[in-house]
Structure 1
Amino acid sequence: MHWKFWLPILAIPVIYLAVALSLTLIRPEVGSAGSLNFERLISSDNTVEPTPLQTFETRDGQALSFAHYPSDSNLKVILLHGSGYHGAYLAPLADYLASTGIGDVYVPNVRGHLGSGNRRGDIDYIGQLEDDIDEVAALILQENPDARICIGGHSSGGALAMRYASGEYGSLIYCFFGLAPFLGPDAPTIPETDSGWAHISLPRIIGLSMLNTVGIHALDGLETIRFNLPEPYRDGTETLGYSWRLMTNFALNRDFEKDVAGLPGESIVFVGSDDEALNAEAFVPLFSRLDKQVQVIDGLDHFGIVLDEGVMQRLGDWLAQH
């Protein structure tokens, strides 16, 4: 057969790679002035100081940082922070659960954030975050072999906790709770109005997805999302951008319903009716259909669901049952 016949066919992979690589050149940019209500995080009502960070060495030799809020309770709680920051803002909730004797609380800083891993905003591979949580769980069980472990988190941390609890390590988890968990861009819980917090580069994401499809991962460290944290609330401890690897791992799988359905029988989600980043009412039919509990709390926004004393008591009462 004449070589000219094969030329268009041979050109297809070249064109495919050229398109994919050109798309990866477009970086994410913050283009909106709006964002979440960060004023709540620095209000005078938040008087609980985070406990000093501790570190331990993970299986790859890197350090992972965490705050421990000790209690004699046999219920050990792993509490995960949301995107762009670290576990300090969870101190009031962690302190409440520990001081009331409900749970012995561990708040790790997710790898790629303050004090965890060698690179801010990046990880080594997708799935590393679950491996890290597994090491936190192993650390707990080494000292307390009969402990019951409950995992929970806020926003993207709620998604990561859900991803872990419904994944291969889920047998270690007795119960799960989510505080305004982010279920992903395809979920009905995404509101019509953008909160202005997270800004992705869709072209770069498409390009990297194309490369991943053919087994090319050399560019997975490229940044694909930026967070709009206003200047007055920055102190240098925040992480304002994520690589493709970290963005993908710090979220549910694309089949988010399978992750929700795979949660332990003892699971609950709290979300505020005034959440800027989520459509709160959409949680109810989705989780009810998948046989999971949801409570929508009137008048609370995205951070209010974490800092409200009433929610702390509700969650504490639910955990106390275990």
Structure 2
Amino acid sequence: MNSGINLKDFKIPLGKLAPVEKFRTRQGDTLSYRSYPAWSEDLVILYHGAGSDSRYMCALAAAIAGQGIASVITPDFRCHGVSLGNSDKISKNQLEIDLEELLIHIKMQKAVSRITLAGHSMGGGFALRIAVSDLRKQFSKFIALAPHLPLHLNANQPNFGGWISVDSDGSFTVNYPEVMRTGHEKLHYSAEYLRAVHAADDLVEKLQELKPSLTVVTGALDEVVVAEKQREIFAQTSANVLIVENLNHLTIVSKVDNYLNIFA
């Protein structure tokens, strides 16, 4: 199946790509991330989406740090980056544990004042998951870029724009174009992994109750999620919603000048 995502305008500025760094969790696992430093005690933790890893967040991370808004950490989710290929049949709270471990690791290395948790696509859904969890108290605000939302909210394009195939057992397969593959991709996600990374089914109700500081940004040309449906859903909450003209599902994280101020 061919992806419905328009890739021709998406570029990773390799000259700005930070090297991979590793850390070991108290569970004994090795995970990875990239670091984009700035002269600021503010920190943005910025998660990637499905199929790839932290490398494609490079343009956004480098822009935030380059303008001195905040230092940026782009983690690789478990089973991505250095742990690519590990079994992804994980417990439902494993990724929250991994985030806590990352926070401990970072705070041992540098002074941190305010922390923003952000993510794109699957990573945006994870940021929303954390925004209504007990772990939300660690963060000053949340930013979700074209976030994956619970399926019952009907906020996705038909067949996810051809990008994802949902399997009968609740797992899904990423239809990553052959021409774009480098061997670093994760192309299949177990149902267990998806339960651990996706936002809760009662997300809207929890956002209404807890009212975290949240901004949702989606490109008007997004091929995977429906931008106006996201606006409609989040209008029921206290979240700020920004629909950016002329951007799609991937250029939302590569052509970033029009919305960088939300990270300040």
**How far apart are 1:33 and its partner, in Å?**
2.8
User: Do residues 109 (structure 1) and 85 (structure 2) align?
Assistant: no
Q: Is the 8 A contact 1:187 1:256 kept in 2?
A: no
Determine the C-alpha separation between the residues in 2 that align with 1:138 and 1:265: 22
Q: Structure 1: any 5+ residue segments left out of the alignment?
A: 1-31, 206-223
| TM-score normalised over the length of structure 1 | 0.76
Give the AA of the match of 1:154: H
**How far apart are 1:114 and its partner, in Å?**
1.9
Q: 1:309 to 1:244 in 2, by over 3 A?
A: closer
Q: Which of the two has higher C-alpha Rg? A: 1
CA-based RMSD of the aligned residues comes to: 2.0
Q: 1:34 to 1:91 in 2, by over 3 A?
A: closer
Match of 1:318?
262
Determine the C-alpha separation between the residues in 1 that align with 2:207 and 2:156: 16
Determine the C-alpha separation between the residues in 2 that align with 1:38 and 1:279: 18
**How far apart are 1:149 and its partner, in Å?**
0.8
Match of 2:6?
37
Q: Is the 8 A contact 1:252 1:259 kept in 2?
A: no
Q: Structure 2: any 5+ residue segments left out of the alignment?
A: none
TM alignment of 1:124-273, pairs within 5 A: 124-144=90-110, 147-192=113-158, 194-202=160-168, 204-205=169-170, 224-261=171-208, 265-273=212-220
**How far apart are 1:192 and its partner, in Å?**
4.2
Q: Is the 8 A contact 2:160 2:225 kept in 1?
A: no
Determine the C-alpha separation between the residues in 1 that align with 2:178 and 2:5: 13
Determine the C-alpha separation between the residues in 2 that align with 1:117 and 1:89: 16
Q: 1:47 to 1:117 in 2, by over 3 A?
A: closer
Q: Is the 8 A contact 2:42 2:114 kept in 1?
A: yes
**How far apart are 1:246 and its partner, in Å?**
1.1
Give the AA of the match of 2:223: E
Q: Is the 8 A contact 1:79 1:151 kept in 2?
A: yes
Give the AA of the match of 2:24: E
Q: Is the 8 A contact 1:38 1:233 kept in 2?
A: no
**How far apart are 1:309 and its partner, in Å?**
3.3
**How far apart are 1:165 and its partner, in Å?**
2.4
Determine the C-alpha separation between the residues in 1 that align with 2:14 and 2:109: 31
| TM-score normalised over the length of structure 2 | 0.92
Determine the C-alpha separation between the residues in 1 that align with 2:128 and 2:106: 19
Determine the C-alpha separation between the residues in 2 that align with 1:117 and 1:124: 14
**How far apart are 1:48 and its partner, in Å?**
4.1
Determine the C-alpha separation between the residues in 1 that align with 2:221 and 2:253: 13
Q: 1:117 to 1:130 in 2, by over 3 A?
A: farther
Aligned with 2:98: secondary structure? helix
Determine the C-alpha separation between the residues in 2 that align with 1:240 and 1:136: 24
Deviations 1:2-40 (A, max 9, x none): xxxxxxxxxxxxxxxxxxxxxxxxxxxxxx334322333
Count of matched residue positions in the alignment of Structure 1 and Structure 2: 264
Match of 1:306?
253
% identical equivalent positions: 29
Match of 1:18?
none
Q: Is the 8 A contact 2:211 2:237 kept in 1?
A: no
Q: Is the 8 A contact 1:111 1:117 kept in 2?
A: yes
Q: Is the 8 A contact 2:208 2:236 kept in 1?
A: no
Aligned with 1:176: secondary structure? strand
